[in-house]
Structure 1
Amino acid sequence: MKNLFILCLILTIPMEVFSQIKSVSFSPEKNQINAGLPLPSEERFLIQGLIPSGIRRVEVKIFKTNKKENSAETYTWKAAYLSNPSDFEIYVAYPLRSNDTYTLKFYYFNSTDTTEMKAVKEAIHENLETYLNANFVVNKKEIKALVSQKAMLVQLNEIVTQGLSNYSHQLDQGFSGFSDVVKQKIEQIHGIKLKDSKFNLLKKSVDTKGTDNAYYAKQVIDQLIDLTKAETNQYLRSNLLMLVDIREINNYPTEKKPNYLPINIGYAGTYFGGGFNDLDYGTSAFAGISMPLGNKNFTKILGNASISTGVFFSNMTNASQTEISGPLIGRPSYIGLGYSLFRILRFNAGAVLTSTEINNKFEDVTLYPFVGFSAEFHIWLGLKR
């Protein structure tokens, strides 16, 4: 048992040391990835590519061809501060499925200048002002809103978000929405009642003074507009990155991984009875095959677990010196659950089907529990064409 454990460690260490991450290249000019070859599957890999001067950010979205884009995994590369890189490298952390097809979308962002930022601010400000003026109606009795307070706040946030849909913050700080100050101002306007007013807001001059309710209504609405502009200015105080190009590859294949048969060779102990002081058990080496409950590249818990079945190499003897055999092939057979502790070392537990032989006949067929450790090896299953 000890020698088997040492052997497993020796076999495991080189696999960890010498394993390398694959790298594929993307050419935006040709809109081609990995030189037309399938993408790596069931393993993490790198995407590398050249970038034009001025590009500060590259994003790639990867999703199955038959899925929607909102299911995509998004990976990002950003240029280091004050650097002028000529290429990018993105680490794809979630492996792709074997023999499947994916869509890849590459987004290239450039730095914006002062003129572009001014245009963005003015467009968002104009949309906010137009929306608020259109959704508040002033009559003789009150300021009436055409939408609820909650809906108004949501729609104001959407105006800013949509206005920035082609931009990205350099520090990945998305717009978090308008503050409670704006929310309170909206609540205040919803609660304003105007009494005994005889006016036409369109006839009022900007220089109108006094306590006229119409003038007051215009003031509070303008205050809300100014608040929304001030908070968007605060978010837009630093230059954003502007989306300048999108490259898309559809229905791209991944590598087809070969099929393997997991073979287990190990050593186990079978419990026949007794307590801690008079434990009755037998031991033997065993071999069998296993069926994984999942792919370990996509699920750690089920991917490391499997159901195993096989036979023990030799019969065992209990405390009364009775030979414990098996009813099927003259050897005890087992079925159990295995879990990988290291790359090839597995812990096994389950039940052993046994029998005793009397007068050349199998009798007393019994199931006993067992535990053990094994080394798991994958044998390639290739079918000759």
Structure 2
Amino acid sequence: MLKYKYHYQSLLLIFLSILPLLSFGQIKSIYYNVLANELNNSNPIPSEEPFFVKGRLPSGIEMVKVSVNRAGKNENRAIFYEWKKPFDFEVSEYELFISNPLRNNERYDFEFFFYGRAEEQQMQKVMTALHRNLEAYIRANMEVKSNGIKTNHSDPVLLSQMNQIVNDGLRDYQHFLGREFQGFSEIVRQKLDQKERLKLRRARFNVLGRNREDNAKAAYAEQYIQELIQLVQNESSQYLDKSLLALVDIRTISNYPTEKRANVLPLNIGYATIPLKRELPTTEYLHGPYVGLSLPLGNKAFTKFLGNASFSTGIFLTNFESSQGDRVTGDLIGLPIYAGLGYKMFQVFRLNVGAVMLNVEPANNISSSNTFIQPFAGISLEFNLWLGLKERR
């Protein structure tokens, strides 16, 4: 028992000495030179860890956005990050936090978008163009017939396409608070539905009929269409009256490399307990040091749980002896071999549970030895063995 107590005290002392050394690395920063359109001084950018992108803020720029996408992939898969000027504070630099780590030794496309405050005259031109496009769309898709107003599309399609007209017209503009145009309201939908209840019979759009009744019906149809046009124009104007930023410039960097990280092999050195029963009168607990390797089930930078989980295998460094004098050894190489699952905690500790192959040789030498598979549980320190001669960075 004194021997086991000594092992526990030694392992605890090692763990306590390692704890103060645990530190979390500072988040890296790279610089974007807008004049040279150069990223990180033409060096590879960090991989498998978040980082900041900093740059000089051009005069008049209120917001900077960057899209990051793996080279050759669909543009819809790009991830956007943005920085906004804080209130009226005078700042000379912007800082974008790239929170999603990039993959090791891959190439990425970057697009930098620079936005400035839209001028009143500029917004007036945008508003006028949107109003004309909405009116043209409504008139092109509505036809006055004798039995009412017919449309080329259903009401949901009309709403969707009018929303798209607004979004396309504002493609180069951004709301300062990040709010997007939410689409036309329920009032517009109800106005579209109202046309189903109009009875015009012989009226023709914008053409005077042969008698006063036809003229009244044509005027009524025109009044309905004009009310719908005015309604959608008013709702689009409400959004445009807010504080909008206009796109000033776009800078693109294509096919840019990330850092190539060196391959590592996690080495575990720890201490474990093996409960042993089998032919013994009572369950005994064997304790001893072990060493082995861990193969992660995923990349921790992208899948935290699977990145910390692993398949582990190795050997115990000593053989054992039961209280009855039975010798407990390994069956294949003379030392117990284990295999199981592990989970990494606090950067360097790994919990391991699994099974160990044991060979029990009775002390009386009467019966033959037996091979058993027994469970075990242990905790270890994990160190990365660098594979290759190159530096990690």
Task: Provide TM-score, normalisation by structure 2.
Answer: 0.90
Query: Which residue of 275, 292, 299 maps to 1:271?
Result: 275
Note the alpha carbon deviations across 1:186-220, whole angstroms, 9 max, x for none.
1112443323x35562348xxx9999222111111
1:48 counterpart residue number: 54
Segment of structure 1 superposing worse, 215-224 or 49-58: 215-224
Query: Which residue of 182, 193, 216 maps to 2:220?
Result: 216
Does structure 2 conserve the Cα–Cα contact (< 8 Å) formed by 1:284 and 1:314?
A: yes
**Matched residue type, 1:81:** F
When residues 357 and 169 of structure 1 are mapped into structure 2, their CA distance, relative to the original with a 3 A threshold, is same
SS in 1 for 2:338: strand
- CA deviation after TM superposition for structure 1 residue 27, in Å: 0.9
1:297 counterpart residue number: 301
Query: Which residue of 16, 20, 23 maps to 1:16?
Result: 23
Determine the C-alpha separation between the residues in 2 that align with 1:186 and 1:68.
36
SS in 1 for 2:248: strand
- CA deviation after TM superposition for structure 1 residue 59, in Å: 0.5
Percent of paired sites with the same residue: 41
When residues 124 and 271 of structure 1 are mapped into structure 2, their CA distance, relative to the original with a 3 A threshold, is same
- CA deviation after TM superposition for structure 1 residue 63, in Å: 1.0
Does structure 1 conserve the Cα–Cα contact (< 8 Å) formed by 2:61 and 2:115?
A: yes
Tell whether 2:194 aligns with 1:188: yes
Does structure 1 conserve the Cα–Cα contact (< 8 Å) formed by 2:51 and 2:98?
A: yes
Gaps of 5+ in 2: 1-7
**Matched residue type, 1:338:** G
Note the alpha carbon deviations across 1:354-381, whole angstroms, 9 max, x for none.
1123669983111111111111111111
Determine the C-alpha separation between the residues in 2 that align with 1:200 and 1:176.
32
Query: Which residue of 252, 255, 263 maps to 1:251?
Result: 255
Does structure 2 conserve the Cα–Cα contact (< 8 Å) formed by 1:138 and 1:217?
A: yes
2:103 counterpart residue number: 97
When residues 191 and 317 of structure 1 are mapped into structure 2, their CA distance, relative to the original with a 3 A threshold, is farther
1:227 counterpart residue number: 231
1:113 counterpart residue number: 119
Aligned-residue CA RMSD (Å): 2.4
When residues 123 and 343 of structure 1 are mapped into structure 2, their CA distance, relative to the original with a 3 A threshold, is same
Tell whether 2:330 aligns with 1:323: no
When residues 259 and 362 of structure 1 are mapped into structure 2, their CA distance, relative to the original with a 3 A threshold, is farther
Does structure 2 conserve the Cα–Cα contact (< 8 Å) formed by 1:149 and 1:190?
A: no
Task: Provide TM-score, normalisation by structure 1.
Answer: 0.92
The 5-angstrom pairing of residues 1-385 of structure 1 reads: 1=8, 3-5=10-12, 7-8=14-15, 10-16=17-23, 19-195=25-201, 197-198=202-203, 201-203=206-208, 212-273=216-277, 279-318=283-322, 320-357=324-361, 363-383=369-389
SS in 2 for 1:16: coil
When residues 40 and 361 of structure 1 are mapped into structure 2, their CA distance, relative to the original with a 3 A threshold, is farther
Gaps of 5+ in 1: none
Determine the C-alpha separation between the residues in 2 that align with 1:54 and 1:362.
88
Determine the C-alpha separation between the residues in 1 that align with 2:217 and 2:18.
85
